């Protein structure tokens, strides 16, 4: 950064400054914790038997530092290339009709509340309402550090069991919805997309109608012909803005697809997404009747506090999954060695 001409190259300087901030955010908290640890040792040597109040204060401060260290240790689980990035999260209704559309609405609220708890901002990129109630599918952008690192653990089918509010006979229903998460790709990541490979359509954005209904074809749908990937955006004010947003999502999806091909994980991830969204393929079950239980089938982590989970309290499920994946990676590396 101190070299001649560094600030003249705006694109490179922006990339390097961002990299520096990321490195500092990783290193500085550990350095601060170690400094506090050394101070504890110095104070401990000066303690006398009668200094009970000072000893109590030191213990309280030590517990706070321990809690900070646990958070820092957890952050080491985010070792993926894009774990620090923002996330593009999509939810799609599966088997279950109106019930599943309502389930999508519930999941959208759950992830919105989770984002609020972590200080992330959310914005809706695309949404399609259900025919009677709820949402058929929705795509949101979750912006903030490590948003993708956290939310990538949510990719898969989510199953709900409850007494249906849409059934006059109050029978128990099972609903399914799939969640897909990809990282937001920065502009400095090169993804080659040629104009001849794109089919671009415009249409009138769907909405509740009335005086706020859009009168122009501002929504944009883009299909990448070689891969068959289709994305759309309809929540921006202009056609140009929707096109830019759709291109950003397309870029992220193509990059993710190519990365998975290189890592030979295409079958594991995208074939899994092609499964029918129904019984037997879920990663997590949310049971509200005849008992309360949320269980992650990948880790066996479970809780009876369904209301807390639906209010965004999914951290324990994400943490258990990431820890298991980390241990699995270490085990595989050990076998290779």
**Euclidean distance between the first and the last CA atom of the chain, given in angstroms as a whole number:** 39
Tens-digit pLDDT profile for residues 213-233: 455 678 999 999 999 999 999
Q: What is the mean pLDDT of the chain?
A: 85
Which CATH fold topology does 195-262 show? Double Stranded RNA Binding Domain (3.30.160)
* pTM listed for this prediction: 0.74
Query: Do 154 and 135 contact (CB within 8 A), yes or no?
Result: no
Which CATH fold topology does 87-188+276-336 show? Alpha-Beta Plaits (3.30.70)
Question: Using CA atoms, how far apart are residues 201 and 233, in angstroms rounded to an integer?
Answer: 11
Backbone φ, ψ for residue 57 (5° rounding): -65, -40
Question: Using CA atoms, how far apart are residues 133 and 66, in angstroms rounded to an integer?
Answer: 47
Higher pLDDT, residue 260 or 169: 169
Name the pLDDT band for 175 (thresholds 50, 70, 90). very high
pLDDT at residue 35, as a whole number: 92
């Amino acid at each position: 950064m101190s070299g001649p001409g560094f600030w003249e190259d705006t694109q490179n300087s922006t990339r390097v400054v961002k990299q520096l901030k990321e490195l500092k955010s990783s290193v500085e908290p550990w350095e601060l914790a170690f400094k506090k640890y050394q101070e504890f040792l110095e104070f401990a040597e000066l303690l006398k038997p009668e200094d009970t109040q000072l000893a109590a204060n030191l213990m309280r401060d030590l517990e706070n530092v321990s809690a900070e260290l646990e958070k820092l240790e957890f952050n080491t689980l985010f070792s993926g290339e894009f774990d620090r990035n923002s996330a593009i999260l999509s939810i799609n209704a599966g088997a279950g009709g109106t019930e599943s559309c309502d389930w999508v609405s519930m999941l959208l609220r759950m992830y919105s509340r989770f984002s609020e708890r972590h200080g992330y901002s959310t914005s809706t990129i695309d949404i399609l309402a259900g025919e009677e109630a709820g949402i058929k599918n929705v795509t949101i952008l979750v912006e903030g550090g490590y948003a993708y690192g956290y939310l990538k653990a949510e990719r898969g089918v989510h199953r709900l069991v409850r007494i249906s509010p849409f059934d006059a006979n109050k029978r128990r229903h099972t609903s399914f919805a799939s969640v897909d998460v990809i990282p937001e790709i920065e502009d400095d990541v090169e993804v080659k997309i040629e104009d001849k490979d794109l089919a671009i359509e415009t249409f009138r954005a769907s909405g509740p109608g009335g005086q706020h209904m859009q009168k122009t074809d501002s929504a944009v749908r883009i299909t990448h012909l070689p891969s068959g990937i289709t994305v759309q955006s309809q929540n921006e004010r202009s056609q140009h803005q929707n096109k830019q947003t759709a291109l950003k999502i397309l870029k992220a999806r193509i990059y993710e697809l190519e990365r998975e091909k290189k890592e030979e994980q295409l079958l594991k991830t995208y074939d899994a997404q092609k499964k029918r969204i129904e019984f037997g393929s879920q990663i997590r079950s949310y049971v509200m009747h005849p008992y309360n239980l949320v269980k992650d089938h990948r880790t066996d982590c479970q809780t009876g506090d369904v209301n807390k989970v639906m209010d965004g309290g999914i951290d324990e499920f994400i943490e258990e999954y990431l820890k298991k994946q980390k241990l699995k990676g270490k085990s595989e590396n050990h076998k290779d060695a």
